[in-house]
């Protein structure tokens, strides 16, 4: 069995305004609102429910009926989109933070916390092999530390 395709026919704002104007004029000539809606809907070429929805929205926009106006709906939609994007950004940041927390060993920081703290400096100088056996004068200068801090460590 084939599923029916749901088609959506968009009408321009001018067609909607004209239909609402005709409907409001036709309400005087018909016994009920529904009879007027059916009469105008057949002339415009849309369904009665579509025209009834347009009328209800026009009444909300005009302040004649309670509910969200078209402007309120557009603003709500924009805010919901913004919230969705911010939640996605927060999720990305949360995952990145968790990833980098696993990569960086505990207790080590990649940034200096004070003037005496050097980036990635050893707490004490000790020889680990022949390559490290050098005099103090041959040691490389640590550019990430103030001159006084390099001498203190």
pLDDT tens for residues 123-141? 555 556 555 555 544 555 5
**Positions of E strands within 15-150:** none
pTM: 0.51
pLDDT tens for residues 94-132? 999 999 888 776 555 555 555 555 555 555 555 565 555
Confidence of residue 32 (pLDDT cuts 50, 70, 90): very high
Confidence of residue 48 (pLDDT cuts 50, 70, 90): very high
Note whether 58 and 50 are within 8 A (CB): no
Average pLDDT of the segment spanning 87-93: 96
Coil, strand or helix: which one is 36? helix
């Amino acid at each position: 069995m084939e599923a029916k395709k749901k088609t959506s026919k968009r009408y321009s704002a001018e067609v909607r305004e004209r239909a609402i104007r005709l409907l409001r004029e036709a309400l005087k000539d018909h016994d009920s609102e529904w009879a007027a809606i059916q009469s105008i809907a057949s002339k415009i070429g849309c369904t009665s429910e579509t025209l009834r929805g347009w009328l209800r929205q026009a009444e909300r926009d005009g302040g004649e009926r309670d509910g969200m106006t078209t402007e309120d709906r557009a603003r709500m939609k924009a805010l919901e989109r913004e919230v969705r994007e911010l939640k996605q950004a927060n999720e990305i940041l949360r995952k990145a933070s968790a990833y980098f927390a696993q990569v960086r060993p505990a207790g080590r920081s990649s940034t200096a916390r004070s003037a005496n703290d050097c980036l990635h400096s050893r707490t004490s100088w000790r020889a680990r092999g022949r390559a490290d056996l050098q005099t103090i004068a041959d040691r490389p200068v640590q550019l990430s530390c103030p001159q006084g801090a390099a001498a203190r460590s």
